[in-house]
Amino acid sequence: MDQRTVFFISDQTGVTAETFGQSLLTQFDGAKFRRVTIPFVSSRVKAEEAARKINLSSEVEGKRPIVFSTLVHDDLREIVSRADGLFLDFFDAFLGPLERELEVQSSHTTGRAHGMTANSDAYQVRIEATNYALTNDDGAHVRDYGKADVILVGVSRSGKTPTCLYMAMQYGVFAANYPLTEEEFESGKLPAALDAHRDKLFGLTINARRLQQIRRERMDSGRYSTAQQVGFELREAEKLFRKFGITFIDTTEMSVEEIASTILEHTGLERRFRP
Amino acid sequence: MDQRTVFFISDQTGVTAETFGQSLLTQFDGAKFRRVTIPFVSSRVKAEEAARKINLSSEVEGKRPIVFSTLVHDDLREIVSRADGLFLDFFDAFLGPLERELEVQSSHTTGRAHGMTANSDAYQVRIEATNYALTNDDGAHVRDYGKADVILVGVSRSGKTPTCLYMAMQYGVFAANYPLTEEEFESGKLPAALDAHRDKLFGLTINARRLQQIRRERMDSGRYSTAQQVGFELREAEKLFRKFGITFIDTTEMSVEEIASTILEHTGLERRFRP
């Protein structure tokens, strides 16, 4: 199969069009795609410009491109849909059935990125949760664990920081994290700050070989990334998880999204929003 | 309009189903929705459990729920679609036309969240870009600006940090940021580290009243959040932007997604991936 050009076209940021298109494209493994995002297509002029780009791509490549679109306004959608591409519009497909079910007309207004405007509640929560994750990262700084929805614990480089940031940005969840080190392994205890919030603790572990590889790639040299050290830390961390009844998961084969969803599912934590 | 329950059902994390559903729901402003995500529906047993939850909700509320689903397997989709809800499946709607256009069968396999598996290139890039954003945040730490795709400059609390993190996680873009302070305002110069990468600079500004409000909410007290100080900083920052020919945007009414998309559009920067 030859290369195809894929357009993601939106009257807003294009994030929905990209998410929507990408998850469909992953179903076509062997294919090669050239990807172009055209955001903020909010006027007839811009829609016509997008249509020209689609037509040009079709002419040059001799294959019509695939167009994933999230255009709310009928007239803009109409313009882009007339271009020489396979036009797949998200609102086109689903707004009709939804309107009939809810027995109400949709607003057909350009959706500010998922209702996430700069002054909305969801937006404020996202910023606060992100700041929270940053200041309560890696056990450093003030430990404001009273405010935490969840506190991730695990050895260094087990995936705690990106997961906390992702949960903050994607769901507005307040996630802190604390790295387990020699201090905990030797004492067999949790620090008092953590112990006071034991019901919020969630453990991450990871395969020893994978952890060693990650630490080496980060150019963390010396004892820190030896097989012996990595093995020791992981064994001790899992001992602590068991001793204190901390639920834990193995992140070796998981993406950040998967770790985050799994934690939310296990804990039953409410998402503060869905962007 | 009464409250409706909305289910987001997926054989994976549910992020696509949530994004897909949320952007449709924003078209129905007046409506109230109760949202439930059911991720990892990857077996007949789990599909039947999801179907039971839908039916229960329909019985209890006397209105059938709306079901946004991203189920790749036909048999699982079949089970959930038979439940008493308005079943809107994403793959159902679009895979057919795509298969015909590409003249190939889709794999119909559970898509690991957008091809973002723990060992994939996209995943590695995301982690690296996130680490980069964290270590090159706020002008602190080593200034590894050679590796930056873009360096955001602006006064404190103008939106630099969340935007850098978002660009890293969403697009694998390496974004650093540097806060403009008295030092730059007094000298009228950029620090040498920034000056060497002037083509990568992108400015953020914000409305004075809004900035004051944000700083106060962060409990940054004293001179830092007075109208006089905020006004002074913003004027001086914009002077610097103009003096050094730095493109800048006003983030007052923008969400983080919008700031990120706008920066990518202005700079023409390539997204390293789309999750």
> Which one of A157, A206, A255 makes the best mutation probe of the B interface by having the most chain B beta carbons within 10 Å?
A255
At B253, the amino acid letter reads: E
Residue A8 has pLDDT above 90, yes or no: yes
Residue B184 predicted with pLDDT over 50: yes
pLDDT (0 to 100) of residue A190: 93
Q: What is the mean pLDDT of residues B222-229?
A: 86
* A265 within 8 A of B40, measured Cβ to Cβ: yes
**Closest residue, chain B, to A86 (C-alpha):** B101
- C-alpha A161/C-alpha A5 separation (Å) is 35
Q: B106 to chain A nearest CA, in Å?
A: 5
Which residues 43-102 of B have a C-beta within 8 angstroms of A? 64, 66, 70, 72, 86, 88, 90-91, 93-95, 97-98, 101-102
- Residues within 8 A of A (CB atoms), B 111-170 only: 111-119, 123, 126-127, 130-131, 134, 161-162, 165-166, 169-170
pLDDT band at residue A1 using 50, 70 and 90 as cut-offs: low
- pLDDT of A194 > 60? The answer is yes
The rounded mean pLDDT for chain B is 90
Q: Provide Rg for chain B, Cα atoms.
A: 24
| A181 in B contact zone (CB under 8 Å) | no
List residues bridging with B4 in a β-sheet.
B33
Residues B271 and B172: beta-carbon distance below 8 Å = yes
Residues in B closer than 8 angstroms to A169, CB to CB, are 162, 165-166, 169, 256
Query: What pLDDT digit, counting tens, does each position of B13-35 carry?
Result: 998 899 889 889 988 877 889 99
**Best CA proximity match to B155, nearest among B109, B99, B106, B220:** B220
Q: What is the pLDDT of residues B233-252, one digit of tens each?
A: 999 999 999 999 999 999 99
> What would the mean pLDDT of A106-123 be, rounded to a whole number?
67
Mean pLDDT of A18-25: 90
Quick check: A16 and B23 CB within 8 A?
Answer: yes
* Domain locations in chain A as residue ranges: 3-111, 121-267
DSSP string, A101-136: HHTS----S---GGG--TTSHHHHHHHHHHHHHHHT
Distance CA(B127)–CA(B275), nearest Å, equals: 13
3-class DSSP state for residue B219? coil
pLDDT band at A139 (very low <50, low <70, confident <90, very high): confident
The tens digit of pLDDT for each residue in B149-182 reads 999 999 999 999 999 999 999 999 999 999 999 9
- Give the least confident one: A46-50, A90-94, B31-35, B107-111: B107-111
How near does any CA of chain A get to the CA of B195, in Å? 28
Predicted pLDDT of residue B259: 96
Residue B122 has pLDDT above 90, yes or no: no
Specify the pTM.
Answer: 0.88
Half-sphere exposure of B129 (CA within 13 A, CB side): 24
What ipTM does this complex have? Answer: 0.86
Domains A3-111 and A121-267 share a fold: yes
**Residue reference for tokens 């694998």:** B172
Report the C-alpha gap between A17 and B239 in whole angstroms: 37
Euclidean distance between CA atoms A130 and A135, whole angstroms: 9
Are the C-beta atoms of A159 and A251 separated by less than 8 Å? Answer: yes
pLDDT over 90 percentage in chain B: 70
Residue A153 phi, psi dihedral angles, 5° rounding: -125, 150
Chain A residues in contact with B103 (beta carbon < 8 A): 1
User: With b meaning 16 or more CB within 10 Å and e meaning fewer, what string describes B189-215?
Assistant: ebeeebeebeebbbbbbbebebbbebb
What is the per-residue pLDDT for B50? 98
- Centroid of chain to Cα A37: 19
At residue B137 the predicted structure's pLDDT band, cuts being 50, 70 and 90, is confident
pLDDT of residue B204: 98
Q: Please check the confidence at residue B113 and state whether its pLDDT lies above 50.
A: no
Which DSSP helix (H) or strand (E) runs through B153? strand B150-154
Confidence of residue B135 (pLDDT cuts 50, 70, 90): confident
Among the ranges given (A16-25, A262-271, B43-52, B111-120), the one the predictor scored with the smallest mean pLDDT: B111-120
- Lowest average pLDDT, out of A133-137, B8-12, B63-67, goes to A133-137
Which CATH number, 2.60.120, 3.30.70, 3.30.1380, 3.40.50, labels domain B3-111? 3.40.50
Residues of A in contact with B35 (CB under 8 A): 271, 274
Instruction: Identify the residue among A27, A37, A74, A141 best suited for mutation to test binding to B, counting B beta carbons within 10 A and taking the highest.
Output: A27
Cα A116 to Cα A15: distance, rounded to the nearest angstrom: 12
Q: Which fold has domain B121-267?
A: Rossmann fold (3.40.50)
Q: Average pLDDT, stretch B104-126? A: 72
The better pLDDT of the pair A1, B66 is held by B66
pLDDT at B168: 96
- From first CA to last CA, the distance across chain A in angstroms is 35
**pLDDT above 50 (res A221):** yes
CA A97, CA A54: separation in Å to the nearest integer? 29
b/e map of A11-30 (b: 16 or more CB within 10 Å)?
bbbbbbbbbbbbbbbbbbee
User: pLDDT above 90 covers what percent of chain A?
Assistant: 70
pLDDT band at A113 (very low <50, low <70, confident <90, very high): very low
Would you state the pLDDT for residue B220? 61
Q: Per-residue pLDDT averaged across A167-182, rounded?
A: 95
